């Protein structure tokens, strides 16, 4: 019985195994930045990391102990117990800020090189540069 099960499982593994990939839906820089809609879609993706940076934890770490906002929380970030050994929300801010920088850099490079009219490309490149500056800030 064990022999039969092992033969069947080997036969199923060999029959279901294929290294051929279907690249029909695969997106690369070379085949994506061709239309205005595609460039705008990439530019909108630059805004996504903002949601993860500017949240309640960030406000608690930056404003909770000032006269702008008081928080009587016992959370570590509210007490400003933020250090390299205990980064709290600072680790999230750094990681998502650099994701935003990377997305903005790609948009600047790829939109500048795309085959659109200069009057369409210039505002999008300027917006991507402004987003990159915000993430660096």
- The tens digit of pLDDT for each residue in 44-102 reads 999 999 988 887 777 777 776 666 666 666 655 445 556 666 666 777 888 899 999 99
> Would you state the pLDDT for residue 79?
53
Residues with Cβ within 8 Å of 38's Cβ and at least 6 positions away in sequence, in order, are 32
Please give the model's pTM, rounded to 2 decimal places: 0.67
Q: Average pLDDT for residues 22-47, to the nearest whole number?
A: 83
């Amino acid at each position: 019985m064990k022999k039969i099960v092992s033969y069947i499982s080997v036969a199923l593994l060999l029959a279901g195994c294929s290294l051929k990939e279907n690249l029909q839906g695969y997106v690369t820089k070379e085949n994506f930045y061709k239309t205005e809609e595609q460039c705008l879609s990439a530019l909108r993706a630059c805004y996504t990391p903002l949601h993860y940076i500017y949240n309640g934890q960030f406000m608690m770490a930056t404003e909770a102990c000032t006269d702008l906002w008081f928080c009587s929380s016992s959370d570590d970030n509210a007490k400003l117990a933020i250090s390299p050994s205990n980064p709290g929300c600072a680790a999230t801010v750094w990681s998502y800020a650099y994701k935003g920088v990377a997305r903005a850099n790609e948009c600047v490079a790829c939109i500048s090189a795309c085959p659109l009219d200069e009057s369409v490309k210039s505002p999008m490149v300027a917006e991507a540069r402004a987003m990159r500056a915000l993430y660096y800030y």
